[in-house]
Structure 1
Amino acid sequence: MRRTFGVVAIFLGLAACQPRGEVRIDPAAAALGTVETVFVGTTRGETPATGEEYGRARSEVTRFARLDVSVPPDRKPGAIRFTPPRRKPDPQTDFVTTKEISYPEPRAFRDDLAGALRREGRGRREAVIFVHGFNTTFAEGAYRLAQLGHDLDLNGVLVHYSWPSRAHALGYVYDRDSALFARDGLEVLLRQVEAAGAERVLIVAHSMGAALTMETLRQIAIEEDQPVLDRIEAVVLISPDIDIDVFRAQARRVGPLANPIIIFTSRKDRALALSAGLTGEADRLGNLTDVAELGDLDVTLLDTTAFSTGAGHFNVGNSPALLALLGRIGDVDSVLAADQSARTGLLPGAVLTVQGATQIVLYPVAAISGLQR
């Protein structure tokens, strides 16, 4: 019983007392902030009791929307500020929706998305699909993608898959079931993106959304739909809340992709430590320490432990230093090809390769300078 109360207390602590993200519309915010357009596919249903159009309820029909999100000028990279309830948004500091569109049917969504892709020009028509994690509202997932798109200056069109999280610190079991429920919806979205003319697709999935993503890719592989898999340029899993044996089975069934699956890990991820405790395991994929456990898979582990603060469950998006470093993520290939003694800048720590798997330890710039002296 004490352990149960302890887990509950820690989950509530991780949730903190910050205002939750919700869609607040202010067209005038576009004049102050930088507007990022986020296309959305969702299996969230309407919640009449609260008036939420996209709430915790599960919808068997995948619906489509678009949010134009103003990223405020007064913020640090990685930071997202939501407007507290009953207060008017401040577009100088708050993430605000300047325009919201709910598409009446998939064709309208696909046509709008196709237009955005065509504006990227032939050869550059890439879609970046973000799949949010545990305890996330509709707005929080969309705003997080807008933040990542802005801070990392991502090329391509931003697409968010919003699955029906309960958005509550104690909704872990509900969210795990919802992630399984939402597999078909993500597959529907991937097919819509392909039909809209995306030449390449980058999937970025966080936490429980990583489990959903791998299950969906496995499902597509079982259906032998190779054209969809061939469009996927890369899969990036951030703090993935996945059992390691389950991931191994998923990855083997999906088979080779265009590039290795990139997995961001942290040994100080408190949320994943709790998840491991709840499931009776030592580790989850997102806090794996021994790359040899994945040696027979084509994966790259990026250890972000040195950037961990707080719960350490979204280092990639929250750390200004890590965001700056990731702006040079293209250096990974050259670093892996270089001799150990020639490595500088991006990856000064240990680079360990076991068969097809590679583990890279990332360090802040201050640590890099110290190591190179």
Structure 2
Amino acid sequence: QAMAAQTNLGQLPVSTELTARTAKFLTQAADYANTLVRRAGTGAPVTATHWEQLRRLYDQAAVLNRELHRMEARVAANGAHFWEITRTAAYKRGIARISVPQARADFRAINREMQTYPTLIYDGPFSDHLERKRPLGLTGDVISASVAVKRALSLIDRAQGTDYKAGVTGTVKGRIEAYRVEVTGNRAGTDEKGTCLISKKDGHPVLMLLSRGIGAERLDVAAAQDYAARYLKRLGFEGMRLSYGIRRNGMATFNFVREKDGVIVYPDMVKVTVALDNGQVIGLDAASYLLAHHPRGSFRPTLTLEQARSFLSPRLKVEKGRLAVIPTDAGEEKLTYEFKGTVGPNTFLVYLDAANGEEVKVLKLIASSAGTLVM
């Protein structure tokens, strides 16, 4: 019902800015209900904390319901009805000019009212505390723009005979505040243009994209992977191993993840793109790594690999299993056993909680000529 309400809300002829807080509440209400259903499905009890969250949702819903009824009455007094003022109907019937000004004012008031309630924090994908989560991989002091330029130039996988120049063109706000550095490379017959994002705090590489014409493929994927691995090592990313890769349009993109004490740490992920004409690294995305990377203690699973395997469906033909740290929907981390197996022609990755064997996530692997995709 909450998701249906959100869909209907989007049909009203007012800007999304005015309805943003209301839409956010509806999304959270739907997702929290889904979270409790999943929890109940595992046999876990609904705690007093959950009931308190539900009470808060109920209170907010009551306020929203009251204000929407008042708005409906005021709109009706002006000769229109909610069911008439969807964006399409308002355009066709020419009634938007009657009802919209009042609706805009009312939604501003509702947004202000909804802002007075504390945000809902829970183990779900739209939890507000994710938006405020600070990057764990940023260390050190704030750097100057001139230092950012030097760091950006050091990211470039320089083509022989090319002269590179760079300059700061702006800053980027968000969870990782960064300098935007534009890079140009010139040599006879070829021009390269690139954009680098360098974190303001200690000058970590966040993103690097280099644009140029890609020639005919001369490298295979294995050679490109070797170029990518050496590039990461040069930048100081230690203990990284290949997770998955995809090849398309003369380029290969590889996902590298950290390995610690034999455990795969998926949150510490870096993506590298290599041009298959000459092996030049033309792309780097380290944002996930910077958000998640932090010193971790020893990994101590409660279950052994064989004990965890006993929780799997007998229909899954297991090929291998290993320990892996994976991100949860709430932005936290969980130690799991990752099992790769098949059911008929389909290949899956199944993640079981290393503490109790509960299923955490199931991914399907899709093999194609471009590489292996996960969905």
TM-score bin (small chain): under 0.3
Q: Would you tell me which structure has more strand in proportion to its own residues?
A: 2
The alignment's TM-score, normalised by the length of structure 1, stands at: 0.22
Looking at CA atoms only, which structure, 1 or 2, has the larger radius of gyration?
2
The alignment's TM-score, normalised by the length of structure 2, stands at: 0.22
Q: Larger relative CO (CA 8 A, sep 6+): 1 or 2? A: 1
